[in-house]
Amino acid sequence: MAYDKPIPVRGTHTEPFWDGARAGRLMLPRCCDCNRVHWYPRHLCPHCHSERIEWIEASGEGTVYSFAVQYGAFGGWSKAVPFVSAYIDLKEGDRMLTVLRGVDPAAPETIRIGAPVRVEFEPADDQTHIPFWRVVED
Residue numbers of the site for another protein (CB under 8 A)? 5-14, 39-42, 65-78, 80, 82-83, 85-87, 95-99, 105, 108, 113, 124, 130
Distance of closest approach, residue 84 Cβ to another protein, in angstroms: 9
Q: With respect to another protein, which residue has the nearer C-beta, 60 or 67?
A: 67
Q: Give, in order, the Cα–Cα distances in Å from 62 to each of 65, 90, 101, 106, 112.
A: 9, 4, 13, 23, 13
Distance of closest approach, residue 105 Cβ to another protein, in angstroms: 8
Distance of closest approach, residue 127 Cβ to another protein, in angstroms: 13
Distance of closest approach, residue 42 Cβ to another protein, in angstroms: 7
For residues 122 and 109, what is the distance between their CA atoms, to the nearest angstrom?
27
Q: With respect to another protein, which residue has the nearer C-beta, 42 or 91?
A: 42
Q: With respect to another protein, which residue has the nearer C-beta, 41 or 116?
A: 41
For residues 19 and 125, what is the distance between their CA atoms, to the nearest angstrom?
13
For residues 83 and 14, what is the distance between their CA atoms, to the nearest angstrom?
27
For residues 13 and 68, what is the distance between their CA atoms, to the nearest angstrom?
30
